[in-house]
Chains A and B, each alone.
Chain A
């Protein structure tokens, strides 16, 4: 009996090894860069971490293919390197010798990528599935471009400034014009007075007259 169990175990591991190999058609390579991501707080990669990975992946497969109950044993890992990269394949729970196809695995990983990343405190860049590019986050596109808002504010302020300055200079000019007729009247009176003066006494040299001559030359 023991030999049977032993034989079955050997067979299953052999089968598993056959199913999982590098460059398997239905498998993916995973690469983790824990030290790059976490620096001093990096954890050591050991068998427990590997178990967590297999469990997370089984969770992802369960989410993808409803009804089928994937177990940790359905995720087979091989070709581990010190880089912390390895190859994995997923077997179907109904038939352990049959692999789940590549597209389903890719879909499953894509859907639950966030959960897988956060389980390991890593990001899309530091937990790489070679062959499954991460879906790019769409850049935020607000309805009104922010620059138009700032532009509107600046133009409003500038426009108000122009109106204020132009209005104040118009007002200033009006005030000047109102003062001018008063000055001209005073001028007229002095001229009239000087004319009268010179008619009365001829001793005083009358500058206003000599200035008048200059004006007429023009």
Chain B
């Protein structure tokens, strides 16, 4: 499709190929650079590979037909993920600016896309770092034996365990009471929990010290934060495979159910997972690519990072499910053991006469002879499938299911420390990208004076995010976080991603884009890229956006509550009406920023028309580069 929207003045806003060569040779300009290619790749991998790979993908994989889920996942990875990734890398490398700068260069009316990315990065960074604070809390608490979530505390008069803990489990109690101290409702805000505030402080200051000088410091930090998770995953894989029942978990994960492929929800979830997993539309990837040298092979990078991301998802799913299989087997054994004990005690059989293998037989026998005793025993049904499918996504996986599995392993504190360090590194490297997606646009927008150093920008961002993030340290913080997770980071990103594609392909012009890529990497992008960029990827994005929107709007909005009355399962409850306003703000403001800014620019141009013609020649990029060139020569 040779559709191209009119875009006057584009050449004045972007550096030409000649300018880029000059900049490359003279190393003019004050833009930071990567020390080496490895830093760039590790940073991008770290940004893409995050907590979602560990606690979202395994759940999706298992619940949508196991091994069969790989098919939609891989198809959409190739058709949607890689093209979008290549697009962001290429445009960032070509225009050499952060997200706001890039979209403003393409067309001033598109500044809203950059601003939307900024807002989304800010909102997501706010709640993502709260999850980091939770991880740090658990990490701090892992340096003791026995682990605090392995035992219930005693009640006030020392006669028994605390009731809430006895009715649920020790890990549930530790998570909902001692960590979150959660209230029963989103409206009961409770007070600030001081230990949570301390954890938030530690998370934000640690992030600040790593981001303090932009990629100069994050580039060093990623050597550890991007590689350590793989080491720990491998350790857990080896440990997991030696535990009893791990193979059950892996089988459960990968058992294919081809019927799920007929279910549109499977494809929708696969597409959404690919999109969010690649951290597209945050603006961070564009920023990172802009620090590359002009002839860096961005096509290769895009393919490489996509492959790494996909493989990491599958690898971590295997590891997670091996541990989940172990936990499920333990729970099953405990459950059966309990039942067998009850039978033996009631009928005074000698030990070891009832085992798991003849349990059913004997139960049937006894049920025929003395059914009333059997009824009085209150035997539980032990279902392996039930244990395997318990709470295996999101924070429930990390803080409840996995912690429970860890306390059953020997040397638990060691495994706890390793696990939470891995989660921490995964999240921290994603936060680097988020901070980049906030700080660089702020600098580009010139909201604050230019002379202020980057440390101050970074510090202000962290401070303000921390201040707003205190809402998650309230007793109802968990419910607010779930709200943010569902709405701030979902629909706006899809909208921004779609607008990015349209902007580059149809406003910037796919012909110009092809020429740019030929200039940068030496050959024109082949037919695969052409087809996906122009048709396939935008269509897929529209589909996902529309279906996502429809499912969110049609289903009644509820949230899960930890309430004394419905232990130990969570109870769904509808949101109060004021929350709908907040949902609209979270999802609507970034999405609406795009047309709003276009309108604002239009008004600005109309009313300030007289000053228009004397647009300084210095404003054009070429002139700026000429100046820098000459200054360098003079100096």
Chain A residues at the B interface, C-beta cutoff of 8 Å: 31, 33-36, 81-85, 136, 138-139, 146-151, 154-155, 158-159, 161-162, 165-166, 169, 173, 183, 187, 190, 207-208, 211, 214, 217-218
User: Chain A residues with Cβ under 8 A from B161's Cβ?
Assistant: 136
B79 to chain A, nearest CB (A): 43
**Contact A217 B151, beta carbon cutoff 8 Å:** no
**A80 and chain B: residue at smallest CB distance:** B348
**Do B630 and A34 touch across chains, with their CB atoms under 8 A apart?**
no
Beyond the given A85-B345, A146-B143, A154-B202, please list 17 additional residue pairs across the A-B interface where CB-CB is below 8 A: A35-B351, A82-B348, A85-B348, A138-B158, A139-B151, A146-B140, A147-B140, A147-B144, A155-B202, A158-B206, A158-B209, A165-B217, A173-B453, A183-B635, A190-B634, A217-B617, A217-B618
Taken together as a complex, chains A and B put the C-alpha atoms of A218 and B616 apart, in Å, by 7
Chain A CB within 10 Å — which of B140, B206, B350, B627 has the most? B140
In the complex, B160 has a CB within 8 A of chain A: yes
A2 shortest CB reach to chain B, Å:
38
Q: Is the C-beta of B282 less than 8 angstroms from some C-beta in chain A? A: no
Q: Which of B93-149 contact A (CB under 8 A)?
A: 136-137, 139-141, 143-144
Asked whether any CB of chain A lies closer than 8 Å to the CB of B33, the reply is: no
**A159/B205 contact (C-beta < 8 A), A35-B352, A83-B350 known:** yes
| Residue numbers in A under 8 Å from B603 (CB-CB) | none
**B-chain residues with CB within 8 Å of residue A84 when the two chains form the complex:** 350-351
Shortest distance from the beta carbon of A126 to any chain B beta carbon, whole Å: 10
Q: Tell me the minimal C-beta distance from A12 to chain B in angstroms.
A: 27
Q: Once the chains bind, are A166 and B634 in contact (CB under 8 Å)? A: no
- Bound complex: CA A149 to CA B144 (Å): 11
| Residues of chain A with a CB closer than 8 A to B351's CB | 33-36, 83-84
Q: Mark B340-354, 1 if CB is under 8 A from A, else 0.
A: 010011001111100
- Option from B144, B198, B455, B634 in Cβ contact (under 8 Å) with A151: B198
Residues in B whose Cβ lies below 8 Å from that of A211:
627, 630
CA distance A35 to B349 in the complex (A): 13
Known: A81-B348, A138-B154. A162 touches B205 (CB 8 A): yes
Q: Bound state CA distance, A162 and B456, in angstroms?
A: 12
- Which A residues are CB-close (under 8 A) to B344? 83
Interface residues of B (CB under 8 A from A): 136-137, 139-141, 143-144, 151, 153-154, 158, 160-161, 195, 198-199, 201-202, 205-206, 208-209, 212-213, 217, 341, 344-345, 348-352, 453, 455, 616-618, 627, 630, 634-635
Alpha-carbon gap, A151 to B634, bound state (A): 53
Residue in chain B with minimal CB distance to A191: B634
- Alpha-carbon separation in the docked complex, A36 to B333 (Å): 14
Contact A162 B212 (CB under 8 A): yes
Asked if B350 contacts A208 (CB within 8 A), the reply is no
Q: How far is the CB of B229 from chain A (nearest CB, A)?
A: 19
In the complex, which residues of chain B have a beta carbon less than 8 angstroms from the beta carbon of A148? Answer: 140
Residues of B within 8 A of A85 (CB): 345, 348
Residues of B within 8 A of A155 (CB): 201-202, 205
Q: Which single member of B154, B455, B618 contacts A139 (CB below 8 Å)?
A: B154
- Nearest chain A CB to B297's CB is how many angstroms away? 33
Residue pair B453, A169 in contact (C-beta under 8 Å) = yes
Please give, as numbers and ranges, the residues of chain B lying within 8 Å of A154 by CB-CB distance: 136, 140, 202, 206
Indicate whether A147 sits within 8 Å of B141 (C-beta atoms), given known contacts A169-B455, A214-B617, A217-B616: yes
